[in-house]
Structure 1
Amino acid sequence: MSKQYLTIHSVDQAHPTEIFSLAPTPNGIISASGSSSLQVHSTTEPTFPLVQTIKNAHKLGCHHVCTAKGSKGTTAASVGFGGEIKVWTNTNSEWSLSFEISPSKEKGTGDVWAVALSEDQKYLAATTSDGRIHVWDLAAKEKVQSYETGASSSGGNGETSGGSFAMAVDLSRDGKFTASGHENGSVYVFNNEAGKMVYSLSGLTKPVRSVAFSPGCKRLAAAGMAGIIAIYDMQHGEHVSNLTASTTRPAWITSIDWNDTGEYLLSGSQDGKVKVWDVARGVCVATHSESEGGLWAVKWLPKSERALAPGMGKGEMFCAAGANKSLTFYREATGI
């Protein structure tokens, strides 16, 4: 059984360069690109108008921005191509800079790449180019956990060699677990309370571009250049299924996101297609050819209890963005 989603609006040329990342809030969506500014669009009005431009957010452009799934949407974090992390706070519907974590100058440390927030907005996880994963306590503004994924060096000095580029990260909604995806296809899960790795997961042999915990943390999804979405059971760390398109050469998957019920996964890929997957059945139930250019980010929007406009249903909505520099919004074609 398929599901129908309709394109309800497109914000053309939302950025002057391609869009790399999206971060939804209860009433808006933040987008980041190769330009220095972050853009904030309303998701409670039919035309999805621009409500704020955060100018000079990142001098060299921004490759990741995040908010916490299921949160109040008052905290966001972004990472620039200069290696800086910025934490933003929403007060009276305006985003402003709370504080900045400067690029590390320590010898042997990699550049920061992906970021994720816990649902309570208290913890921030970030990956590095040398395979490390760091967790910060935002209230204390200090690093509380650091995980190594590199092998021990043979020099006998107790140091570790660099691990594989950590390209993706997610925090479970309760903040207990951190998952990372790496350039060599590795997927790791860490217990933040115990401060140690609990699972090293198999199933992917090519770079992992996105990892995502299900809302109840019963499943972890991972996807990337292998063109499949691997699903793992978090109780035992088992690889339970793959979601894959019926083609001999599936496109690279750049972004995945669970819906609020954990029934469906959204994916965006380099062939410009957005797909909705029924996880229990293991099948794709909707496909949209978004653009000829690749997609870098796809996100479900928080479900609204009201229609945006007369005749528009209250079903689930999602947003896709990428190389065409536009934001495209979709809604489920059911419900009034």
Structure 2
Amino acid sequence: MYSQIKHIKNAHDDGIWSVGWSKRGNKIVTGSVDDTVKVWAGDTYVPLHTFEGHQLGVISIDISPDGSTAASTSLDSQIRFWDLIHHTKTDDKTIEAGPVEAWTAVYSPDGRHVATGSHNGNVNIWSVEERKKERPLETRGKFVMSVAYSPNGLYLACGEEEGPVHVFDVPTGRLLHSLPGHSMPVRTLTFSPDSTLLLTGSDDKRINIYDVHHGNCLSTLAGHQSWVLSLSFSPDTVHFASGSSDKRAKIWDVNARQCIHTFDDHDDQVWGVAYNEDGTKLATVSDDRSLSIYQTG
């Protein structure tokens, strides 16, 4: 059931820190320390286009819900938007966010906003259309390293460099929960497709599963030998994938609370994992500059 379909060495000229697989249009998008964003065909895995514009590496990328656009962030303090249909950059929509005001970018489920973490502990909500900050969500904590919207659009979660995880009510901006459970940076988090569960991954090598509504930790999973860098929930809500600086990607069974498969084809830390639309394939990217595609269903 689990097998490697494709391994693309030197997919970028430097480490690859982020990957997304569009829910529409079947495209894979990767972001690299080499300052480029690349688009790949989700069926043949051939490169379709390379976007250039960032100057200090691409930290994160996310694909809009309709599959038409990708957003990327960089240490150059810019949020850039890329047209995945016509393969053009949209300079008129570039946002000058300010130093470390846009660490990790994620689209809202309606595609109208992008949320980013910041060094001062806030989550910034940006209007895609108007290219401006609409409001900050205050955690009163420190550097926000990871951000995620729930698929139903009601919640936004963020993870801090010192371990806390915060969950906000999106319509009101009210802080609902501050979740304990990690003591080190939370570099990744994601909601389940039904928005009832929240997964968090940390430098403490652990993955926590939280009940979103009640704010309690349901389980703590161990298995990686180093930092957990990336998480992706499968559309079937039964499985999720994780990537780690131990050079491995793992598949987990949510109900059994255990790892059911490990991929160890990368030669360096696995910064990104992303399922395709139906959950039958998984893309992973690494500091070894490679992109791998796996059969998962």
Instruction: Please report the TM-score for the alignment, with normalisation by the length of structure 2.
Output: 0.94
CA contact 1:65–1:115 (8 Å) conserved in 2 = yes
Q: Which residue of the partner structure matches residue 175 of structure 1?
A: 153
Following superposition of structure 1 onto structure 2, how do residues 146-185 of structure 1 map, counting pairs within 5 Å?
146-150=136-140, 163-185=141-163
Q: How does 1:7-156 map to 2 (within 5 A)?
A: 7-25=4-22, 26=24, 27-45=26-44, 48-55=45-52, 57-68=53-64, 71-92=65-86, 94-97=87-90, 99-104=93-98, 110-150=100-140
**2:211 aligns with one of 198, 210, 233:** 233
What is the deviation of 1:136?
A: 2.0
**Cα shift at 1:95:** 4.1
Q: For 1:136, give the aligned amino acid.
A: W
Instruction: Output aligned runs, 1:197-276, within 5 Å.
Output: 197-245=175-223, 250-276=225-251
Equivalent position amino acid for 2:49 in 1: Q
**Given residue 111 of structure 2, which amino acid in structure 1 is its aligned partner?**
Q
Deviates more, 1:252-261 or 1:129-138: 129-138
- 1:264-307 deviation digits (Å, cap 9, x = unpaired): 1100011111100001110111111122311111111122xxxx
Decide whether the 8 Å contact of 2:101 with 2:124 is kept in 1: no
- C-alpha separation in 2, matches of 1:221 and 1:289: 22
| Deviations 1:244-280 (CA, angstroms, capped at 9, x unpaired) | 22x8xx3211000101121111000111111000011
1:292 corresponds in structure 2 to 267
Mark the structure with the bigger radius of gyration. Answer: 1
Q: How far is the alpha carbon of 1:227 from its aligned partner?
A: 0.8
Question: How far apart, in 2, do the equivalents of 1:327 and 1:126 lie?
Answer: 25
> Over the residues paired in the alignment, what is the CA RMSD in angstroms?
1.6
Could you list the per-position Cα deviations for residues 44-89 of structure 1 after superposition, in whole angstroms to 9, with x for gaps in the alignment?
Answer: 22xx10111112x202221111114xx3211211001211111223
In the alignment, residue 89 of structure 2 is paired with which amino acid? S
Residue 256 of structure 2 corresponds to: 281
Which residue of 280, 285, 288 corresponds with 1:316?
Answer: 280
1:206 CA displacement: 1.1
Q: Name the CA distance, whole Å, in 2 between partners of 1:174 and 1:217.
A: 6
User: What percentage of aligned pairs have identical amino acids?
Assistant: 28
Taking the aligned partners of 1:140 and 1:173, their CA distance within structure 2 comes to 23
Cα distance in 2 for partners of 1:301, 1:123 equals 23
The Cα offsets for residues 134-178 of structure 1, whole Å up to 9 and x where unpaired, read as 11232343333311222xxxxxxxxxxxx3111100011232211
Give CA-to-partner distance per residue, 1:171-210, whole Å, 9 cap, x none: 1123221110011001001111111111101111111010
Contact 2:51 2:82 in 1 (8 A): no
TM-score by length of 1: 0.83
Deviation at 1:121, TM superposition (A): 1.3
**2:166 is matched with which residue?**
188
Tell me which residue corresponds to 1:156.
Answer: none
* The 10-residue stretch of structure 1 (323-332 or 140-149) with the greater mean CA deviation from structure 2: 140-149
Shift of 1:119: 2.5
Q: Which runs of 5+ in 1 are unaligned?
A: 151-162, 304-314
Moved more, 21-30 or 266-275: 21-30
